[in-house]
Structure formats: structure tokens, C-alpha cells
Amino acid sequence: MEITLNWYLSLSAVLFVIGVLGVLLRRNAIIIFLSVELMLNAVNLTLVAFSQAFADVDGLVLVFFVMSVAAAEAAVGLAIVIALFRNKTTVDVNEMSLFRG
């Protein structure tokens, strides 16, 4: 049997939904970040699969940019987690109610 584009897209969909469930179910801010990274990875897999199916290099360039933005996001996000941990001594998002007055 031959592995077609749809196999990669389906795998990517499953990985993306595991990331969605991680964001919705887990209460640890760092695990939520990891789940967001998982979702970005799932989308990257889609981009690479399409790029190779159509022999178009633009998809790979987009993956490169997604990875750069993910790196920037991880640095700033983890710095925010550290700053919050200093104030609250927890990373549980249920304890974060700064906007609720």
C-alpha cells in the first residue's frame, strides 16, 4: 500500500486534537505551553506534507517561520510563567485571577 497525503493529514489532525485536549484539560501552565507546541507541530506536519505532495518549497519556508515564532513564544511565555511563579508560587492556571479584581 502507498502512504498518501491523507495519511499524514489524519495523523496531524489527531496530534492537533491531543494538543487541544491538553490545553483544555490540564491546569499546569507549562503543560499548556507544551500542548500549544504540539498543535504547532501538527500544523507543521501538514505544511510539510502538502509542500512535498505539490513539490512547492513555500510550505517548508512557512514551517521555518513557524519554528522561529514558536521559539520566541516559548522564551517569552516561560519568562511570564517565572514572573507569575514569583508572585503566586504556583503555576496552576485556576489560581491566576489577576483580571478578576
Partner 1 sequence: MLGPVLFFVFAVLALVGALGMLIARNPVVSALWMVMNLFSIACLYLTLNAQFIALIQILVYAGAIMVLFLFVIMLLNLGEVPRIPAFDWRKGVTFLLGVAVLAQILYVVALGLDVAPAVAVTEAEEAANGTAAAVGVVLFTRYAFALQIIGVLLLAATIGAVLLAKKRFV
Residues that bind partner 1 (CB under 8 A): 1-3, 5-11, 13-22, 24-28, 30-31, 33-35, 37-38, 41, 44-45, 48-49, 51-58, 60-61, 63-65, 67-76, 78-83, 85-86, 91
Phi/psi of residue 72, nearest 5 degrees: -60, -45
Least distance (Å) between residue 57 CB and partner 1: 5
What's the closest the beta carbon of residue 44 comes to partner 1, in angstroms? 8
Cβ–Cβ contacts within 10 Å for residue 44, how many? 19
CA distance 13 to 100: 35
Task: Return the DSSP state at 66.
Answer: H
